[in-house]
Structure formats: structure tokens, C-alpha cells
Amino acid sequence: MARKILILMMICIMLASLSFAASRRSDVPNIQFLSPNDEITIDLTGKPGITFKWKNSPLPGGGRSAFRFKLIKGFKYDFIVSENLARGVFLIDVPADKFEDGVTYSWYVEQRDSSLGVWSRHDTVWSFKVIKK
């Protein structure tokens, strides 16, 4: 009986810690994107690639330790680029050969709070369509 109570207590503690971590994640502010703009068409014909840019603010309360950039084919989990970047990096260049003609891509950036050790949510996702001839 004591063993069952101990197991039940451990499960409760694990669930409480998951709930706490989820609430802490919402404390980390989302990044504001700059370019490429949302819902546009980009003609990559003869161009070397696309530069993705975002703002330095808002900063997390515990300071920022890193960014995480994600580029997705479509809107699902078909990641084309998934890269962790230093906290002082506010852009990334993606070469044209990563993109296909007529395909829609989406992208977002998260930031990691140094004190909490959690990433921001990616509530905002921007998309664009690529043309290559």
C-alpha cells in the first residue's frame, strides 16, 4: 500500500512539474519578425537565397541565451532548416537551392530564456510562396 501511495505521489509531482514548465513557457515573449513579410510571393529567379530577419526585442525576463529558427515546407513538420543561433544573431540566410518552385513555406523564430531555460512559444508563423524559373 505504501508503495502505491509513493508511486501516486511521484506521478502527481511529475504532472505538476509539466504544468509549471508549460506556464513558464508562456512567460517568454514571442519574437517579432521583420522579413520576408507574411503571405507574399518571392521570386528567387537568379537570386542567391532569402534572408530572414527578426527584431532584438522583446527580451525575456531572465535574459536571452539563444534563438531557434525553423523553416518549414508547407505548414506541417517538414523542416527544411532547423537551427539554433547565438543570442546576438538577428538574421539567417537560406540558399535558393533549399526552395522549390511553386511551394509555400512557413517560418518562425523562438528565443530561450536564460533563467528559466525554456523556449518561447511560436504562436506566430509567417508564410510565403516561392517562384523559381
Q: 25-45, pLDDT tens digit by residue?
A: 457 888 899 999 999 999 999
Q: For residues 104 and 94, give the distance between their C-alpha atoms in angstroms, rounded to a whole number.
A: 15
CATH number of the domain to which 102 belongs: 2.60.40.10
Kindly tell me if the per-residue pLDDT of 18 is higher than 50.
no
pLDDT of 14 strictly over 70: no
Lowest average pLDDT, out of 3-12, 103-112, 117-126, goes to 3-12
| SS3 call for 32 | coil
pTM: 0.79
DSSP strands (E only) in 16-125: 33-35, 40-43, 49-54, 64-73, 79-86, 91-95, 104-113
Is 23's pLDDT higher than 50?
no
Query: 17 is in which domain, residue-wise?
Result: 2-131
**If pLDDT is split at 50, 70 and 90, which confidence band does 59 have?**
confident
Give the Cα-Cα-Cα angle 128, 22, 3 (nearest 5 degrees): 140
Q: How many domains does the chain have?
A: 1
**What are the grid coordinates assigned to 55, written together?**
527584431
Q: How confident is the model at residue 60 (pLDDT cuts 50, 70, 90)?
A: confident
